[in-house]
Structure 1
Amino acid sequence: MRYRAGQRIWETTSAIPLSDGDLEGKQKDLSPAEEQESGRFDVKANESILFFDNLFPLKLTPVLSLLSRRTETDQQLTDLLQRFNSSSLGIMDPIQLVKRAIPGNLPIKVTEIMPRLKDGGAFVKFEYDPSLSASEIEAKLLKKLREEPIKPWFNPFGRIRARLVRGVPWLEDLHRYPSTLLMVEFVPPEPGASAAELPEEVLYSLFRRYGKIADIIPQPADSKVTPRYAQIGFPVLRDAIMARNCLHGFVLGEAQGGGKTGTKLRLSYVKREKGHSIWNWITSHPRIVIPIVAALIAGVSVVIFDPIRLFFIKMHVQHSLRYTDWRIYKWFKSQTGSFSFHKTQEHIEGLGTIWKHRKDLIEQLQSWLDGSSDTFIVVTGPRGSGKAEMVMSQALSGRKNVLLIDCKPITEANGEALTIRRLATAVGYRPVFSWANSISSMVDLAIQGTTGVKSGFSETLESQLNKILHTTATALKTVALSERSKADKDANLSEDAYLEAHPERRPVIVVDNFLHKSEDSSIVYDMIANWAASIVQNNVAHVVFLTSDSAYSKSLTKAMPDRVFRTLSLGDLDADIAKNFVITRLEEDWKREAQEEAEQSDENKKPIPRPNLAGLDEGIKVLGGRLTDLEFLARRLRAGQTPREAVEEIVSEDATDIVKMYLLGRTADADRKWSTEQAWHLIKALSQSPTLRYHQVLLSPTFASSLSSNATNGEAALESLAGAELITVGTHQGRPQTITAGKPLHQAAFGVLVKDRVLRAKMDLAVLNEMAKVEAKNIDAVEKELQLLGGLPRHTGESAGRVMYLLGKLDAGQRKIAQLEREMGGLKKILNEEF
């Protein structure tokens, strides 16, 4: 027999005697190294092969393979025989185990030893006397091993086993490792012959001698795979190894059920996929596994990150991480006035006068915060009136545990991730993984596309914001109860009762710029209002809303419908107080600059001129008492301008801003609910009269019959313009009553705009053009109705009145269009002649 390594092709020159299991002799002797390279043994007529199992540990097969050589030379394989014949073998040497297993009275001579590391054993080729058969030698060896079991050092519970190799072993060194499942292929012993498929009974009788068989799995009858095969499973791995090494290449004759030409067995290991069964189940049941994984991730997040987030929120509310509140910083600051760890911010001087004017409001707010208030505190006033400065620097000065939430950066964030991150930053919620929501949304979308159901990984913006606010509420309650001790007289009270009895211990939440962008679709305001309502009702904290929107009650009433809000309104400063503020601000700036100049050398000294305040009263009258405008005026006066020059420049800049934002249609707000014609109508009307009747404006053609798709509702247009601060809507007993300019500076800017002949002609032309289109639309409707009446079979007295009414309306409409066209002609002449 000859074997070509790597292709499993056997060439049989003569039949193998099946009675005793001996191997056929070879025509050419091969050296041990050549046997290893060719993948087959060179077996003579009086030689056979035994396979000894349990000589090497299977778990250490990769390590032993690395330590061994890639190929065995003749000298190395011969050394094994010398070690076998030596009498000084170590107890740990596997060759010693082979020598101990072979009885001394057994008339055989070992001629070759071929270790099989990955099989954990070795092939032992031996010569024997022709008077004995190989089967008798195997029987004596088995008897000796049963009576005197030999146990290897690495497996004290196992024993050495040996069996006669009945087939033709394949000495391959491929990376194919043993398995408990064997593939038995039925191939013909010679090319062109046919092989018989062995039944389970024959397979059982062949393989049972090597160990207990777990199962025999025949090839399905309808399978078209050739050659035909069967699978045999062993419970013990070493039993499968023994069977594979002893029966590979075994040929069954016709008497054993192998057919007329015989059937050769080709054995190979089948890798079991037990290790992937769990993974396969997971990937096959995504509807069950994905929600479980999502729940586990959420649980881990709650257990690990929530305590960290609670800690950072408490530090943020208590200002524990703000070094300017540390005692050591205050001590250094007291020792040297110029000492500072951070860049100094511009100090707003002159506010003492304003706080004296608003002392009653400050004291009222402080009394509400010290009392047991179970409702919101709302501080209203136009933008620039100093609401935040009054609340934070005066009413809450020196108070512990203050949390400021500015809604402006949160609502102006682009995208959900940025919105989440800005709210988390405002309350001190960290760590926050805002980017994970985008990734989980993509994963959820991909899973939904493949499985048809949502995985639940992604969370909506509302759920993410609710999680942040809920964690903040928990931290606020912990802060409120942090100063409670067992020594208190009311230590036996419950937590809710303690918070209700000690309103001064509750933190203060200041929500600034509430309804900064008055959009009905924004959920941030509603969520903050509902969250604040639950905090107030549970006596966890005081909540102060700062807003310049007069329609704040709509949002807050939905959150707390059974409460009346405590309200403080800040208006513009009186003329005297405004003038005093500007003068004080300029005086303090002049003193500081004079002191800095005095500290310089005599050569560099320059006299500091005092600002020119001539005409300041008229400038204050124009600008009004808006704090931001007064600050702007003071900076210009400090720069050397006269009050008249400063006011004219401020009014001119404000007029330019109004044109850009309201008249040229360049505003970035694509969802605005007013048209440029409506804005011009108000500017022109307010320049003539500082106060307009609300409903008179609504009944004007520009508001009642606007053709703009986003400005068809006149009341919504006025509300949107009020939110944009072009106008201010005054109320009386809850209903809108008057319309005034958004701030006094706007009133002066309106007069400047109306005096611009080109701008006035352009905007009046747009208004007249829209009115002409409205009249044309009405005439078109009248003509259609007249055409319908003219198509009646007969005219009666009842329809004559309607016809006359429509004809009169048609004539009036046409006369109005003619008048509008004459006016538009004059305006076009101005646009053609003037710049």
Structure 2
Amino acid sequence: MQASRRTVFNPTSVPGLRAKRIQSRDLYNGNTLQRVRLRKSNGSSTWKGVRRESTEAGENQTGHINIPEGSKNEGILFFDNLFPLKFNWLLRLPLRGDRNMSGLLWKYNNHSLSRFEPMSLVKQSIPDTVPAKVTEILPRLKEGGAFVKFQHPDGVTAQEVEGLVVSHLKEKQIKPWYNPFQRVKTRLVVGKPWLEDLYRFPSRRIKVEFVPTSPGKEAAELSQETLYSVFRKYGKLAEITSQPSDSKILPKYAFLDFASTRQSIMAKNCVHGVKVIEKAGGGAAGTMLRISFEQKMKSHFIRDWLVNHPRVVIPAVAALVATVTVAVFDPIRTFFIKAKIDHAFNLKDNRIYKWFKSQATDIFTFRKRAEDDVSLGAIWQGRREIIVQVQTWLMETADTFIVVQGPRGSGKKELILDQALQGKKNVLTIDCKPIQEARGDSATISAAANAVGYRPVFSWMNSFSSLIDLAAQGTIGVKSGFSETLDAQLGKIWQNTATALKQVALDHRKKDDKDSNLADDDWLEVHPECRPVVVIDNFLHKNEESSVVYDKISEWAALLTTANIAHVIFLTNDISYSKSLSKALPDRVFRQISLGDITPEVAKKFVITHLDSESFDTDTPEKSLTPSQRRHDLDELDTCIDVLGGRLTDLEFLARRLKSGQTPVQAVTEIIEQSASEILKMYLLTVDKGERKWSPEQAWYLVKSLAKNETLRYNEVLLSNTFASSLSSSASSGENVLEALSVAELISIKSYRGRPQSVQAGRPVYQAAFKLLTEDKVLRSRLDLAVLTELTKIETKSIDKCETELNALGGLPNQPREVGPRVQFLLSKLAASQIKIEGWEKEMGVLKKVLLDEY
């Protein structure tokens, strides 16, 4: 026979307290005898037959505690909270093995248990006054308790012993040293517990299976009320879940959820194997309860919770995404914006690139750039005062805008960037044209981000987020917050740009400055020369009544100037820029510069300089003469410049035609003809006109009037019949029509003290083009006929109104005396309109004859 085994790790006793057995003791475990060699005190040994020892797997590893059948004087108590449940992972170790329980009872009976040993709690829980004798102790480490088998005398039942021990525990409140908040509890085992050492660990849920008491019989499925009455005394039940009625799984079962794991352990160990009789609801043959722990499987708990709570999850995810975006991407975007402002990654500012460029200058010629520089130099000499004025403003502290207004081709951008800001490093140029012309929110966001170097930008996420927001609104009834409006997206871009501009400005600050103790805002106010410059080009390009792009840029520019972060310069062609900018800075006076056409003297010098920038490699005697000196037709230049005016684009066009071999008269004639064709196509013809804010009759009125007089009174134009009573719905407002034609550059409106005063041609060359158009007899007759036709319709409409009112007055039963003046007024107005119509009909007849006879 094999000797009893001891394991390396035995958590049931503290090391050093394991007593030597000097005598043998019979353990009545109801199993076969085993020969065990015992040591006597004198060193000799002897063999004696003892019962086989119990382990945590039950007596003889059968999984059960044996109580002889028919025994009335024996019972089993289960004590809870003797061992900590948090160390159950130790039981998974492969070297754990079976524990030898042979010394526990001897220690218990001989008072050799340390007060730190868990079994000492059992000794304290059963006082001497209880008429019971402990015959066996079987710890259950993974369940945190122990089975205690006891014997009681006749006349005392096991239930009475249980009551005495339970009452004692309530009075004494015995608590283990490792858990001072929970006391030891005990209950009488009424079933036949199954002692297994499988890798099954306690949980709050137990599975109760209903099995027959013997093979061939049928078990009854207990109701929830019956289960509650059986298990409630072991602890509070959180839920009782019966097997689905359509389930075919056998044996039938039910799930019981306890409020705590300790309570489910007590119920499992005390009730397992109990037989429920017919009277208690167990059926005719009775029903046995087989209990096991059931782990609550929540593999999809998180997913189910997320799906079932969209009102909480979707806004939380949106907030998390926004937080991550701000925390991770905003510093990166600010870095790239700073790099664009201070040109950190600009190749042209690299020293190595500059050296190679200087070395290659002798080999390669950059003729075009040289021509531009030389020719523009003549213009900058005439505008030196404006350049100095802008540079002076940039050195001053003034929280307002600098606005440079002028028609297209007046050289605004070159004046500011190439002259006024020459040599200044921290300059950010924002072109509004690609931003305003972008189609769709995503394209607009990308264009704005590219203008300031804002990257990475996920413009495609805007459309994707809109779809998510739409789906969330249809699901939960409210928007998720994923998608953002164009206004919010542009606000983020400009906000990051403002942060980068402020950092660039503060980079000039040094610790050893005399004003280093000032706050950042105060330091920026004291040092305006250190602020970067923001140039906003093409402001109000294709201006509309309401534009998010221009509104956000104006608000952002106002923030930069009022916070002393940067100087802001607006370059615009629109004369009504003050309406838009005044919304952002209503209490400021702007610093304005109006760039008009250059003077004839400067214009002539510009053309000649442009011609002289070309060199010829010839061996003729005229080699020493400049190209302008070699030409014999420049006497015509003065007359041609008077026709073209001082618009830079037209003058450059003239110079290039002169280089091609044309005479000044030929070149100007072709320029005028080309301009006339553009006017005819863009403003006068009705073919493919699209959405115009003016009618061809109104445009022709201005062309014809300006051909006679170079300047028209603004109010005179508004009071004309064509503008005051237009039949076109899109051209009903005369002021809107004039503003639209000014934006389209057919005309230019001059102001006086803030009010519109006069109307002139949009470009000087247009004045000659207007005259050329009016000299075309067929075109003039066609357009005059359209104007007279519209005027006739207007007067006819007025006559209809007068006739309607006269009919109403004539229908009165008695003609009052007071109606007489009104009738006379309507009759005179009707007669005047009729006279006009008759005169226009005669003119229309002449015009129709011209159209029939002429080509």
Of 318, 328, 331, the residue aligned with 1:304 is 328
Of 485, 488, 497, the residue aligned with 1:460 is 485
Distance 1:802 1:202 in 2: 103
Trace 1:462-611 onto structure 2 (pairs within 5 A). 462-588=487-613, 590-591=614-615, 594=616
How far has the Cα of 1:204 moved from its partner?
8.0
For the residue of structure 2 that corresponds to 1:710, the secondary structure is helix
Trace 1:754-833 onto structure 2 (pairs within 5 A). 754-833=774-853
Higher mean C-alpha displacement, 284-293 vs 349-358: 284-293
How far has the Cα of 1:793 moved from its partner?
0.6
How far has the Cα of 1:434 moved from its partner?
2.2
Distance 1:339 1:669 in 2: 52
Higher mean C-alpha displacement, 783-792 vs 440-449: 440-449
Distance 2:378 2:725 in 1: 49
Distance 1:300 1:127 in 2: 57
How far has the Cα of 1:467 moved from its partner?
2.1
- One-letter amino acid of the counterpart of residue 660, structure 2: A
- One-letter amino acid of the counterpart of residue 324, structure 1: K
Counterpart of 1:31? none
- One-letter amino acid of the counterpart of residue 610, structure 2: R
Pair 1:394–1:195, CA change in 2 (3 A): same
Trace 1:715-730 onto structure 2 (pairs within 5 A). 715-730=735-750
- One-letter amino acid of the counterpart of residue 623, structure 1: L
For the residue of structure 2 that corresponds to 1:405, the secondary structure is strand
Q: Could you give the per-residue CA deviations for residues 473-526 of structure 1, whole angstroms, max 9, x where no partner exists?
A: 222122112121122222233323322222221111111111222212013223
For the residue of structure 1 that corresponds to 2:345, the secondary structure is coil
2:662 is aligned with 1:641: yes
2:348 is aligned with 1:324: yes
Distance 2:231 2:710 in 1: 113
Pair 1:126–1:525, CA change in 2 (3 A): closer
Counterpart of 1:35? none
2:74 is aligned with 1:153: no
How far has the Cα of 1:719 moved from its partner?
1.4
Counterpart of 1:80? none
Distance 1:741 1:663 in 2: 15
How far has the Cα of 1:277 moved from its partner?
5.0
2:372 is aligned with 1:351: no
Pair 1:334–1:550, CA change in 2 (3 A): same
Contact 1:661 1:667 in 2 (8 A): no
Distance 1:629 1:608 in 2: 19
Contact 2:206 2:264 in 1 (8 A): no
Counterpart of 2:645? 624
For the residue of structure 2 that corresponds to 1:739, the secondary structure is strand
For the residue of structure 2 that corresponds to 1:348, the secondary structure is helix
Contact 2:612 2:628 in 1 (8 A): no
Counterpart of 1:657? 678
2:333 is aligned with 1:313: no
Counterpart of 2:173? none
For the residue of structure 1 that corresponds to 2:730, the secondary structure is coil
Contact 1:218 1:229 in 2 (8 A): no
Pair 1:526–1:445, CA change in 2 (3 A): same
How far has the Cα of 1:725 moved from its partner?
0.9
Contact 2:746 2:762 in 1 (8 A): yes
Trace 1:3-18 onto structure 2 (pairs within 5 A). none
Q: Could you give the per-residue CA deviations for residues 83-133 of structure 1, whole angstroms, max 9, x where no partner exists?
A: xx9x99x999xxxxxxxxxx999459xxxxxxxxxxxx99x99999xx998
TM-score (normalised: structure 2): 0.71
Distance 1:701 1:798 in 2: 31
How far has the Cα of 1:758 moved from its partner?
3.4
Pair 1:740–1:199, CA change in 2 (3 A): closer
For the residue of structure 1 that corresponds to 2:222, the secondary structure is coil
Distance 2:246 2:607 in 1: 100
Contact 1:611 1:640 in 2 (8 A): no
Counterpart of 1:370? 395
Counterpart of 1:95? none
Q: Could you give the per-residue CA deviations for residues 433-483 of structure 1, whole angstroms, max 9, x where no partner exists?
A: 222222222222222222222332222222222222222222212211212
- One-letter amino acid of the counterpart of residue 336, structure 1: A
Contact 1:612 1:642 in 2 (8 A): no
Of 696, 699, 705, the residue aligned with 2:716 is 696
Distance 2:696 2:730 in 1: 11
Contact 1:152 1:158 in 2 (8 A): no
For the residue of structure 1 that corresponds to 2:394, the secondary structure is helix
Distance 1:802 1:752 in 2: 48
Of 675, 685, 695, the residue aligned with 2:695 is 675
How far has the Cα of 1:681 moved from its partner?
0.8
- One-letter amino acid of the counterpart of residue 505, structure 2: A
Pair 1:182–1:818, CA change in 2 (3 A): farther
Distance 1:430 1:343 in 2: 36
Q: Could you give the per-residue CA deviations for residues 214-248 of structure 1, whole angstroms, max 9, x where no partner exists?
A: 74844589x976788532247669989x979x989
Stretches of structure 1 that go unaligned for 5 or more consecutive residues are 1-84, 93-102, 109-120, 170-175, 599-606
> Which of the pair has more CA radius of gyration?
2
Distance 1:759 1:125 in 2: 119
For the residue of structure 1 that corresponds to 2:823, the secondary structure is helix
- One-letter amino acid of the counterpart of residue 617, structure 1: D
How far has the Cα of 1:363 moved from its partner?
1.4
Distance 1:791 1:470 in 2: 70
Distance 1:395 1:490 in 2: 29
Contact 1:254 1:260 in 2 (8 A): yes
Counterpart of 2:102? none
Pair 1:765–1:256, CA change in 2 (3 A): same
Distance 1:710 1:813 in 2: 25
Contact 1:362 1:394 in 2 (8 A): yes
Distance 2:784 2:370 in 1: 45
Pair 1:198–1:565, CA change in 2 (3 A): closer
Higher mean C-alpha displacement, 727-736 vs 641-650: 641-650
Higher mean C-alpha displacement, 822-831 vs 802-811: 822-831
- One-letter amino acid of the counterpart of residue 754, structure 2: G
Distance 2:760 2:489 in 1: 41
TM-score (normalised: structure 1): 0.72
State how many pairs are aligned.
705
- One-letter amino acid of the counterpart of residue 650, structure 1: I
Pair 1:669–1:363, CA change in 2 (3 A): farther
Distance 1:429 1:371 in 2: 29
- One-letter amino acid of the counterpart of residue 820, structure 2: A
Contact 2:707 2:770 in 1 (8 A): yes
Contact 2:226 2:280 in 1 (8 A): no
Pair 1:207–1:368, CA change in 2 (3 A): closer
Contact 2:142 2:201 in 1 (8 A): no
Distance 1:664 1:506 in 2: 50
Contact 1:200 1:216 in 2 (8 A): no
Stretches of structure 2 that go unaligned for 5 or more consecutive residues are 10-27, 34-56, 83-87, 97-138, 148-190, 195-199, 620-626
For the residue of structure 2 that corresponds to 1:567, the secondary structure is strand
